[in-house]
Amino acid sequence: MKHNPYRPMGTVYGTLLNFQREHTLWAPRMNEAPYQAPPKAPVLYIKTANTFTPHGHAIALPGGVEAAEVNATLGLVAGDGGLPESCVLLNDVTVPHKSYYRPPVKFRCVDGFLGVGDAVRTLAELGGLEALSALVLELRVNGVMRQRSPLAELVRDAAALWAEVNGFQSLQPGDVLMLGTDCLGDGARVLVHAGDAVEITTQGLSPLVNHFIRESA
């Protein structure tokens, strides 16, 4: 029987500043212009449908982009009634940029810039929302471990993030809410170039693998 890989059927939302390390690094700047205060609600952005790249497929770096940032994350998938039903591994790829809070869409929504896991797992299979805090996301480049991101280090855990987002907008069946991505110890992100292969793993889910190529002329 032919396997049909998972593909998001709704809107995919990313979450900024939801790992404690990055939140701490950015805290001194949160009182500066233009915001003047730390964010009181989750800071979200959208990954558009043109970014979706299935597991095992290549992600192309466009002309003029020598390297891309790769970010391991877990996405919560909304089921009936807008309740969290399942989860999927994602690789949130972006063009390196300095404008953190309001990055232009062209940096985050480049064609193919969201690696999507092959299949979802129900939350029931993983022990429920609360059990997700025991998971550790691991990111390898060319087989070498580059980053480990424990979900126990989220600012808002899965249940709190879902509840707060639904407090100001209704997540619809098929929507995906990413729990956030972590930075390295110096605040940077893992960079990849054409020719690199990225593998993202965690307990209970199939690995997500994508390789990077140069966009053809």
pTM of the model: 0.92
Residue with tokens 């940032």, as numbered in its chain: 69
List average pLDDT for each run of 10 residues in the chain, which is 217 residues long. Answer: 81 94 76 66 92 97 95 97 95 83 75 96 96 98 98 96 94 97 93 98 97 89
**Quick one: which of 185, 135, 191, 180 has its CA closest to 19?**
180
Taking the CA atoms of residue 139, residue 143, residue 144 and residue 147 in that order, the dihedral angle to the nearest 10 degrees is: 0
Within 117-215, strands assigned E span 121-122, 136-141, 144-150, 176-178, 190-192, 197-202, 205-214
pLDDT at 4: 80
Interatomic CA distance for residues 122 and 67, integer angstroms: 34
